[in-house]
Amino acid sequence: MKHTRLFQPYTMNGRALKNRFLMAPMTRSRSDQPGDVPNKLMATYYGQRASAGLIITEATQVSLQGKGYARTPGIYTPEQIKGWKLTTEEVHAKGSEIFLQLWHVGRVSSSKVNGLQPIAPSPITAKETKVYVFDGAPNGDATFTPVEEPREMTQKDIDRVIKEFAQGAKNAMKAGFDGVEIHGANGYLIDQFLRSNSNRRTDKYGGSMENRIRLLTEITQAVVDEVGSRNVGIRLSPFISFKDMADPEILDTIMLTAKALEKIGVVYIHLSEADWDDAPEIPDEFRIELRKTFSNTIIATGNKTPDQGEHLLQNNWVDIIGFGRKFLTNPDYPERVKLDAKMNEISDSHTLFGGGTARGYTDYPFLTKD
């Protein structure tokens, strides 16, 4: 078999995974309204893709304030917990493990989405950044609206957000998830604190790199205290700068973060890597240094081919490879890779975000048996 490491079982701190394929988190905006409640259709979608050794759900807000896009699911109400149980039961019945991604968007939001002014480390609006709603478009498509100027967070705000992440983790375990992933990437709240261009604070959460990683470490410790370190991973994005997030200090900041996460003992670091055509190459030196710094599982996601993933695994730079869009269109993606079979492509881009039917969501075909 060509991709031997990809198909090897993997033990993630005592948790047995059947292969090293990870279904990466992808926002699809299918939750029931009102209330952003996960539903049976979402359970079907995730259950279809349980061929992955590990699934990370779409980003899931820990509070209404943390919501940045319409119809994304939450994990802060009893109805949402009950709704997510449909998914965990379906995925476990199909033989896979599933973590919930905990999310707060910070400044990447608008009052048109949640009725609230966004909050952030500093009152700096993200340039050329939009979020989507579903109001007004005649065909039901998402319509994009600019983000609004955020309010600088007070200590009370920070304390509340830390508690919301911890409670979200507790709620996720109640819903039957195997663990949680803290979203510290892609320009959202935690990432905003990490970066010097979006964090201009002068208190203990701003200025030095040591101060800028403080919110991340406090949230992570609170979540670990609630559900245990073997059930907590974190996503970081050192090489992504969209949403007005370019920061010349980010690589050093991420390495400092990795040292802190090693001390806390989280089960994995999940790298969200740039996936556009002219994206920067991740230096081998960075991967080698991260492996020396962090002793637990490392995951890499970013439009990787199976060959690219196998290369990273063979070099022992990462342990699991995340695949996004290929799992979106191919629920049996590992089997197609094994057989070198033809892949489904996106049938209709209008169905990527939103929609309450199976079309473009759960109707992508499996391989036919001859």
Given a contact cutoff of 8 angstroms between Cβ atoms, the answer to whether 43 and 199 are in contact is no
- In this prediction, residue 290 carries a pLDDT of 97
CA count, 13 A, side-chain hemisphere, 88: 19
- The mean pLDDT of 337-366, rounded to a whole number, is 93
Average pLDDT over residues 275-283: 72
| Domains recognised in the chain with CATH numbers | 10-351 (3.20.20.70)
Q: Are 273 and 237 in contact (CB under 8 A)?
A: yes
CB 283 within 8 A of CB 254: no
| E strands in the chain | 10-12, 15-17, 21-23, 54-61, 97-103, 119-120, 130-133, 143-146, 151-152, 179-183, 232-236, 268-272, 297-301, 320-323
Closest CA to 265 of 219, 232, 298: 232
The C-alpha atoms of residue 77 and residue 62 are separated, in whole angstroms, by 9
Tens of pLDDT along 197-212? 999 999 999 999 999 9
Question: Residue 277 above 70 pLDDT?
Answer: no
- 188 catalytic per annotation: yes
User: Among 69, 132, 188, 364, which one carries the catalytic annotation?
Assistant: 188
Whole-model pTM: value is 0.97
Helix (H, G, I), strand (E, B) or coil at 272: strand
Which backbone phi and psi does 57 adopt, to 5 degrees? -70, 165
- Bridge partner residues of 97 (DSSP): 54
Nearest C-alpha neighbor of 24 from the set 192, 256, 275: 275
Nearest to 262 by CA among 282, 225, 291: 291
User: Any idea which residue has 């995925």 for tokens?
Assistant: 91
Helices 214-227, 250-264: axis angle to 10 degrees equals 30
- The whole-number pLDDT of residue 368 equals 87
Question: What per-residue confidence (pLDDT) applies to 71?
Answer: 96
Mean confidence (pLDDT) of the chain: 95
Provide the pLDDT for residue 279.
62
- At residue 220, the pLDDT reads 98
pLDDT in tens, 15-56: 999 999 999 999 999 999 999 999 999 999 999 999 999 999
329: left (phi over 0), alpha (psi -120 to 50) or beta: alpha
Looking at residue 161, its pLDDT comes to 98
Between strands 10-12 and 15-17, the pairing is antiparallel
- pLDDT of 289-300, one tens digit each? 999 999 999 999
**Partners of 336 in beta bridges:** none
pLDDT digits (tens, 9 = 90+) for 50-102: 999 999 999 999 999 999 999 999 999 999 999 999 999 999 999 999 999 99
For residue 189, give Cα distances in angstroms to 67, 75, 100, 168. 11, 17, 17, 15
The single-letter code of the amino acid at 190 is: I
